[in-house]
Amino acid sequence: MTPDSDDAELIARSLDGDGNAFVEVVRRHEAAVGAYLARRAGRATAEDLLGEVWVAAFTSRASYDRSFPDAGPWLFGVAHNTLRRHWRTRRDEEPLADMSDMASGWDPWAAVDDRVDAESVLRRALALLRPQQREILTLVAWEDLTVADAGRALGMPPGTARRHLHEARTALRNAPGMALLAGHHTLKEAN
């Protein structure tokens, strides 16, 4: 196996019986897919779900569109579907994961109460988005996917993904408290 093989080639090799080829695909994407799951379900749950993602991806690898050399968006789609199944089957009395790390890119030295307030505002604003808007936004902003790849991960055309991203950004900009939050961080950066 050559190190410059793309994911599509590796998936094809795994279908032809090369046991190590799919392991290489997993190695390339496990950190990103694991982080995606952890941000949405919490670290402990993510560890369990990650195994389910790899089993589902391995089982369905024959359906992978090999015209795409990077399997990352496809794997995010598998992870997204795994999360949806998990949330549908979760008992109502199970608590939701602590989502306090959702805004992990913000200033880590801010006062604790400021950080809690900012994360609370962001969580409320994200909760107001439609699910497809929230998923496109987070795949682009947190997982560094292109809009087209985020759309592919969610099974939607690039134009639809761009529309959902635009709607999400507009909704966030207009969400209660977000203007104050933007002003708060602007003031901090100026100091």
CATH number, domain at 136? 1.10.10.10
| pLDDT, tens digit (0-9, with 9 covering 90-100), for 91-132 | 654 555 544 444 444 343 333 344 445 667 777 888 888 999
The CATH number given to whatever domain includes residue 71 is 1.10.1740.10
Contact residues for 40 (Cβ-Cβ < 8 A; gap 6+) = 46, 83, 97, 138
Q: Which residue has the tokens 């389910």?
A: 52
Do both 77 and 110 map to the same domain? no
106 and 88 in a single domain? The answer is: no
Mean local confidence (pLDDT), 72-82: 94
Reported pTM: 0.65
- Asked whether residue 87 falls in the same domain as residue 58, the answer is yes
| 81 and 108 co-located in one domain | no
Among 148, 175, 176, 144, residue whose Cα is nearest residue 160: 148
Q: Of 171, 105, 107, whose CA–CA distance to 137 is shortest? A: 171
Structure confidence at residue 69 (pLDDT):
95
Query: Last residue of a domain, which of 98, 129, 153?
Result: 98
What pLDDT score was predicted for residue 126? 83
User: Are residues 94 and 2 located together in one domain of the fold?
Assistant: yes
Tally of structural domains, the chain? 2
Categorize the per-residue pLDDT at 87 as very low, low, confident or very high, splitting at 50, 70 and 90. Answer: confident
**Residue 185 lies in domain:** 102-191
Do the beta carbons of residue 89 and residue 50 sit within 8 Å? no
| Same domain? 107 vs 188 | yes
Are the CB atoms for 159 and 107 separated by under 8 Å?
Answer: no
Which pLDDT band, with edges at 50, 70 and 90, does 174 fall under?
A: confident
- Percent of the chain at pLDDT above 90? 51
Same domain, 45 and 134: no
Domain boundary among 62, 82, 98: 98
- 167, with CB counted inside 10 A (0-12, 13-18, 19+), is middle
Three-state SS letters, the chain: CCCCCCHHHHHHHHHCCCHHHHHHHHHHHHHHHHHHHHHHHCHHHHHHHHHHHHHHHHHCHHHCCCCCCCCHHHHHHHHHHHHHHHHHHCCCCCCCCCCCCCCCCCCCCCCHHHHHHHHHHHHHHHHHCCHHHHHHHHHHHCCCCCHHHHHHHHCCCHHHHHHHHHHHHHHHHHCCCHHHHHHHHHHHHHC
Q: Do 2 and 91 belong to one domain?
A: yes
Q: Could you read off the pLDDT of 133-161 as tens digits, one per residue?
A: 999 998 998 888 999 999 999 999 999 99
Asked whether residue 68 carries a pLDDT value surpassing 50, the answer given is: yes
Better-scored residue on pLDDT, 70 or 95: 70
**Could you give the CA distance from residue 69 to residue 160 in angstroms, rounded to a whole number?**
22
Please provide the average confidence, as pLDDT, over all residues in the chain: 80
